[in-house]
Amino acid sequence: MFSFCTDPSILPDWQWMACYLTTGKHMAFYVSFGTVLLLLAITAPVSLGFGFLGAMAARARLWPVRILGRAYIAVVRGVPDIAFFLFFVIALDQAFEWLRHKVLCPDWDQPIRQGNDFVVCAEAKLPLGTAPQWIHETYGFGLAVLTFAIVFGAFAANVIFGAMRTVPRAQMETAEAYGMTRRQSFWRILVPQMWVYALPGLSNLWMILIKATPLLFLLGVEDIVYWARELGGAKTPRFTDYPHPDWRMWYFLALLVFYLAFTKLSEIVLERLMQRLTHGQATMGGEAQRKAAA
């Protein structure tokens, strides 16, 4: 990036460090912080959507829908996250390719399962072998987002389901007494109030989601953990223009600072959101605000 970076071996310390921290790989490292933030920005609302649908299914009147919703919550929550991530991404990728294979290559006469190999025609591969690199990266990131959303959606569904059951039944009965239909009572009475009870659990889930982002590394996405390990490892003059000893401790220390700062910011935002939701509500938070105002 700098004009004096032509020969790093003759640079003084501060110029050497300036050149080292602006190499192409370091730029990818800085961009990977944006990848983590983008994952959180997309996964959080999608997970919340999965959770809301799962909670609605778990309390549905139709027993097949109710069993399906509760099974989703129980099964996904009962499987260790790392096992689910390692299995589900592979299974989902192969399922997409299998469907494309059946549609695009109907004349294929060889078995798809050949020992440990999963073989489909070239037209069914996702992404295609001729696709540019950014498409491969986007596809992998999309699979990661979907996997995160399904896993954390199950936890969100359990929180929302419990919050819906916490809303006093008397309020629903009052709404029905005023002539509201079941649907009107659900959307006008139950849903607005259940967020007050759900937010503490969803706040904890948000913190867990932040801490789970290093799992991107297991899914093949070049995230901040990947680049910290890649850049921090010892480098010799034979393989790089910027040789250095093992600096992984410093790179992971930078990640520690990043995660601590981000979680602190999240706590401040969630606290203000909780205050806004509990304002005027007959809850402990609302009562505390009334006493403070008095």
* Residues shown for the chain: 294
| Alpha helices (runs of H) in 167-190, residue ranges in sequence order | 169-177, 182-185
The mean pLDDT of 14-29, rounded to a whole number, is: 83
The mean pLDDT of 9-17, rounded to a whole number, is: 75
Q: What is the domain extent for residue 143?
A: 3-293
Q: Where on the phi/psi map is residue 143: left (φ > 0), alpha (ψ -120 to 50), or beta?
A: alpha
d(CA 191, CA 136): 39
Q: Domain with 222 in it: what CATH number?
A: 1.10.3720.10
Structural domains of the chain, count: 1
Note the pLDDT tens digit of each residue in 167-216: 888 888 888 888 888 888 888 888 888 888 888 899 999 998 998 888 88
Rg (CA), the chain: 25
Q: Determine which of 86-90, 270-274, 290-294 has the lowest per-residue pLDDT on average.
A: 290-294
The answer, yes or no, to whether residue 284 has pLDDT greater than 50, is no
Note the pLDDT tens digit of each residue in 41-61: 999 999 999 999 999 999 888
d(CA 159, CA 207): 14
Residue-level pLDDT at 285 = 45
d(CA 265, CA 268): 5
